[in-house]
Structure 1
């Protein structure tokens, strides 16, 4: 498995719709955390996106997983950026 960083970018226009689907989104994320696929996640402080640290085989399989997010299925994510990450120090480097 490799570690990846997934970055969501949101637009202000979808804010109220994200509120409508937040419970389903958080349920989906919670299941990925339970399965140890998502190692850490949270919204960006400015409200314009979120970050996920994820264990996955490869970028393509990860993109398929994130396509199942209720936010993605409702077209509430303006951009998804997936990058493989090689932590050099700290908790995720061990």
Structure 2
């Protein structure tokens, strides 16, 4: 199954909203790990975004998965980039 790098970009204005939804976001990440979809995730050091490493059949499927992130559902992500990782 292909592996994808997902990059989130946040705006400073959404910081308090991310704090409000962080527990749900982390639960969502844990569920993806349990289902063997998420390989790794980490916020950027400056808190301006995050990187996720995700397995999925294709880019569209990964985009659909990411759309269910509580941060995405609350419109707290300014930009999402999904790229297939070279093997």
The TM tier, using the shorter chain, reads over 0.9
TM superposition shift of 1:36:
1.0
> Which 4+ runs in 1 deviate beyond 6 A?
none
Normalising to structure 2: TM-score of the pair?
Answer: 0.97
1:74 aligns with 2:74: yes
Aligned to 2:63: 63
1:15 aligns with 2:10: no
Number of equivalent positions? 87
Normalising to structure 1: TM-score of the pair?
Answer: 0.90
Cα deviation, 1:18-59, whole Å, max 9, x if unaligned, reads 000000000001100111100010100011000000100000
Q: SS at 2:65's partner residue?
A: helix
TM superposition shift of 1:86:
1.4
Aligned to 1:4: 4
The structure whose Rg is larger is 1
Q: SS at 1:24's partner residue?
A: helix
1:26 aligns with 2:15: no
**Alpha carbon RMSD of aligned pairs, Å?**
0.7
Instruction: Provide structure 2 residue ranges, at least 5 long, that are not aligned to the other structure.
Output: none
Q: Distance in 2 between matches of 1:40 and 1:67?
A: 17
